[in-house]
């Protein structure tokens, strides 16, 4: 991307700002559905800055153009912004709105901040207004300057929507709609207003390819007491129209959602989540609002028996692909170096050999040596590292199958390892085992669990800067709410764990410039014992691939940790070996050898 082109785009936006009387313009990384991954149509932050990392915010004023992003992307951003007037602002604390502090310091009373309200939730707009009101700085959330300046903007995605059969979903769409109506009735609501794409996909048992890595369709769904309305591009619905009609779902153009709300009764109550619903849609609701997370969020998070069965199968497919990948890598490294990008492509190809595979659940993180210490590193062809038969490799990857979504990280030693690497790997492993073995009373949330994963590292004065676990969807978003395991006292870490919740367990350690360590399995919350002290829950490990024993410092392991590792590897071998060739079984047997 030519650097002068970036400057020309900034200049064009400034001209549009001047016409509208806007002193500062905010460009986020989101879409109208608050999606983690966004379609090309909404990648305005990438277009205006040239920076294509997944997280960042741009602010343009008459004399400054800035990008705010966190430490995962500092090196990438410095390279991609080079030669343009876009200045990198390094976030001191990840996921914080430090760009708003900059605006407070650099704008004066009477000036105006503009942004496109469709890209912000109602809650976010309220928060921004409250922040700037004391300084008499105005906020105009109805200014879309991107549309008039991005002249070659990609169109809206229009991939075909398809049905996810009940043999995969476990419940038909009309069953799910009826469950939601029961929740509405209990809350004395007449409508549910849903804009989050994974919720819509789950409720209606439809999937699509509008966004990379997330099998969803760009749409809105409004559920009433006796009718439901899906707002979606008509070109996508050829295969789902009849099924939706049989469940009483009416189809409308995507652009008609706001107008439809304007025509509804002001005497009714609308269940909406201001934390996810776009500001213009929230304002279009004509009646009383019942503001809280939608009931579909928790229903979706607690997987049913059919979904769990499918996830178990997906784990087998993943284990087979990873076995073949690491066998291939061992062989090829005897002859030549292997670019990190080649490993990512090879793994995607091996996953694709299964007929139920759709795509990667995220871009594979293949981090060799120092690149493994960059938490969300993504190898790029021509600039990535070449892997040799030495050092430490971190591989974080996942797949989208019709039967489930996977996410697994393994850190492997390709030659000799240092004492420090083995000790730190073992500390990470001990934290991982502590979460996996946890038995906890009903009502326990992720913030109460997080300390167990970090304790082995804390004892050595070490830590890691990301959460310990995130929810995972069923053939849906690889990062799914409402639950998570982390140190925060609010947000996903404050959600109590319930049976059926499917979550990652991924403590890590990263030494900048040298190596990264992360061990990630996916765990299922299941019922444990019920005693005089109430109902207890525990975790079942579903991921199937060995943990590299070459990186373990065995004297550090307690007896119960050795038993856990032996039992885990026994399970891996028993479940994968029937699907492998004789040569593959022999390789897996070595990886799963008993420590006892």
Strands (E), 406-468: 408-413, 439-441
* 84 Cβ neighbours under 8 A, 6+ residues apart: 3, 6, 7, 10, 49, 50, 65
Q: How far apart are CA 34 and CA 477, in angstroms?
A: 12
Tell me the pLDDT band of 95, cut-offs 50, 70 and 90: low
pLDDT tens readout for residues 520-533: 999 999 999 999 99
* 115 Cβ neighbours under 8 A, 6+ residues apart: 25, 26, 27, 28, 139, 140, 141, 143
pLDDT over 90 (residue 91)? no
**What pLDDT is stored for residue 76 in this prediction?**
81
Tell which residue, 224, 218, 292, has the closest CA to residue 261: 224
**What pLDDT is stored for residue 476 in this prediction?**
98
Q: How far apart are CA 545 and CA 357, in angstroms?
A: 18
pLDDT tens readout for residues 280-302: 999 999 999 999 999 999 999 99
**What pLDDT is stored for residue 1 in this prediction?**
43
Tell which residue, 257, 243, 301, has the closest CA to residue 477: 301
pLDDT tens readout for residues 301-335: 999 999 999 999 999 999 999 999 999 999 999 99
pTM of the model: 0.95
Structure-block tokens of residue 271: 């269940």
C-alpha separations of 139 from 12, 20, 27, 33 in Å = 21, 13, 14, 21
pLDDT tens readout for residues 472-513: 999 999 999 999 999 876 789 999 999 999 999 999 999 999
The single-letter DSSP state of residue 165 is -
Tell me the pLDDT band of 121, cut-offs 50, 70 and 90: very high
Computed over every residue of the chain, the mean pLDDT equals 95
- What's the mean pLDDT in 577-595? 97
Structure-block tokens of residue 73: 């992307």
Phi-psi region of 443 (alpha: psi -120 to 50; beta: other; left: phi over 0): left
Q: Which helix (H) or strand (E) holds 280?
A: helix 279-284
Contact 280, 258 (CB under 8 A): yes
The single-letter DSSP state of residue 95 is T
Q: How far apart are CA 102 and CA 58, in angstroms?
A: 12
331 burial (CB, 10 Å; 0-12 / 13-18 / 19+) is: exposed
| 469-471, strands of its sheet edge to edge | 439-441, 534-541, 521-531, 502-505, 469-471, 480-485
Cα torsion at 482, 212, 319, 579 (round to 10°)? 120
**What pLDDT is stored for residue 4 in this prediction?**
52
Tell which residue, 493, 520, 518, 481, has the closest CA to residue 504: 520
Of all residues in the chain, what percent carry a pLDDT higher than 90? 92
Q: How far apart are CA 322 and CA 204, in angstroms?
A: 33
Q: What is the Cα gyration radius of the chain?
A: 25
Tell which residue, 479, 284, 488, has the closest CA to residue 396: 479
Q: How far apart are CA 243 and CA 249, in angstroms?
A: 9
- What's the mean pLDDT in 35-52? 95
Tell me the pLDDT band of 110, cut-offs 50, 70 and 90: very high
Reply yes or no: is the peptide bond before residue 482 cis, omega within 30 of 0: yes
What is the set of domains in the chain, with CATH numbers?
3-149 (3.40.350.10), 162-294 (3.40.350.10), 305-591 (3.90.230.10)
Structure-block tokens of residue 38: 């966004």
Q: How far apart are CA 18 and CA 2, in angstroms?
A: 25
Distance in angstroms between the alpha carbons of the first and the last residue of the chain: 56
pLDDT tens readout for residues 433-474: 999 999 999 999 999 999 999 999 999 999 998 999 999 999
pLDDT tens readout for residues 185-243: 999 999 999 999 999 999 999 999 999 999 999 999 999 999 999 999 999 999 999 99
129 burial (CB, 10 Å; 0-12 / 13-18 / 19+) is: middle
pLDDT over 70 (residue 578)? yes
Angle between helices 559-576 and 582-591 (to 10 degrees): 170
Phi, psi dihedrals of residue 554, rounded to the nearest 5° = -60, -35
Of 3-7, 82-86, 345-349, minimum mean pLDDT range: 3-7
Contact 138, 113 (CB under 8 A): yes
How many other CB atoms are there within 10 angstroms of residue 212's CB atom? 15
**What pLDDT is stored for residue 488 in this prediction?**
76
- What's the mean pLDDT in 80-89? 93
pLDDT over 50 (residue 5)? yes
241 burial (CB, 10 Å; 0-12 / 13-18 / 19+) is: middle
The single-letter DSSP state of residue 57 is E
Question: Where do the H-state alpha helices sit in 143-239?
Answer: 146-149, 166-169, 173-186, 197-204
Contact 315, 179 (CB under 8 A): no
């Amino acid at each position: 991307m030519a650097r002068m082109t970036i400057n020309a785009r900034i200049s064009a936006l400034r001209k549009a700002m001047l016409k509208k009387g806007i002193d500062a313009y905010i460009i986020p990384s989101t879409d109208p559905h608050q999606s983690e991954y966004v379609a090309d149509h909404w990648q305005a932050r990438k277009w205006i800055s040239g920076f294509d990392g997944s997280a960042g915010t741009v602010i343009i004023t008459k004399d400054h153009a800035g990008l705010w992003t966190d430490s995962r992307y500092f090196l990438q951003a410095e390279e991609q912004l080079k030669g343009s007037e876009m200045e990198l602002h390094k976030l001191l604390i990840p996921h914080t709105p430090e760009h708003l502090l900059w605006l407070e310091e650099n704008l004066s009373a009477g000036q105006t901040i503009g942004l496109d309200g469709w890209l912000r939730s109602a809650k976010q707009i309220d928060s921004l207004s409250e922040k700037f009101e004391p300084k008499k700085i105005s906020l105009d959330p109805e200014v879309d300057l991107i549309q008039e300046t991005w002249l070659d903007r990609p169109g809206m995605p229009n991939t075909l929507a398809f049905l996810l059969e009940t043999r995969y979903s476990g419940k038909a769409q009309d069953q799910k709609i009826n469950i939601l109506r029961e929740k509405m009735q209990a809350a004395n609501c007449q409508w549910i207003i849903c804009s989050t794409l994974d919720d819509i996909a789950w409720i209606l048992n439809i999937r699509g390819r509008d966004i990379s890595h997330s099998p969803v369709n760009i749409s809105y769904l409004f559920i009433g007491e006796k009718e439901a309305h899906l707002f979606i591009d008509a070109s996508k619905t050829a295969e789902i129209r009849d099924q939706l009609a049989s469940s009483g779902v009416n189809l409308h153009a995507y652009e008609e959602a706001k107008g439809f709300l304007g025509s509804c009764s002001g005497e009714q109550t609308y269940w909406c989540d201001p934390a996810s619903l776009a500001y213009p849609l929230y304002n279009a609701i004509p009646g009383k609002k019942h503001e809280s997370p939608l009931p579909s969020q928790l229903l979706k998070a607690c997987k049913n028996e059919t979904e769990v069965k499918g996830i178990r199968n997906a784990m087998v497919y993943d284990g087979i692909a990873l076995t073949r990948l690491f066998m291939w890598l061992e062989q090829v490294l005897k002859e030549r170096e292997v670019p990190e990008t080649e490993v990512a492509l090879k793994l995607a190809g091996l996953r694709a050999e299964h007929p139920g595979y759709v795509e990667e659940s995220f871009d594979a993180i293949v981090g060799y040596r120092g690149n493994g210490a960059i938490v969300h590193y993504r190898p790029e062809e021509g600039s990535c590292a070449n892997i040799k038969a030495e050092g430490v490799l971190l591989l974080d990857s996942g797949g989208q199958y019709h039967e489930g979504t996977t996410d697994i990280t393994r850190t492997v030693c390709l030659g000799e390892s240092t004492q420090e690497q083995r000790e730190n790997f073992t500390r990470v492993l001990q934290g991982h085992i502590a979460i996996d073995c946890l038995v906890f009373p009903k009502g326990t949330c992720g913030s109460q669990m997080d300390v167990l994963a970090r304790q082995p590292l804390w004892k050595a004065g070490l830590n890691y800067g990301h959460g310990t676990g995130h929810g995972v969807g069923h053939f849906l978003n690889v990062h799914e709410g409402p639950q998570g395991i982390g140190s925060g006292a609010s947000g996903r870490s404050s959600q109590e764990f319930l049976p059926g919740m499917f979550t990652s367990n991924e403590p890590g350690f990263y030494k900048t410039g040298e190596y990264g360590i992360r061990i990630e399995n996916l765990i299922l919350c299941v019922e444990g014992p019920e005693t005089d002290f109430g109902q207890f829950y525990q975790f079942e490990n579903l991921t199937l691939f060995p943990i590299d024993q070459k990186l373990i410092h065995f004297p550090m392991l307690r007896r119960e940790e050795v038993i856990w590792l032996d039992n885990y590897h026994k399970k891996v071998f028993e479940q994968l070996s029937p699907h492998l060739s004789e040569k593959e079984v022999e390789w897996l047997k070595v990886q799963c050898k008993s420590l006892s």
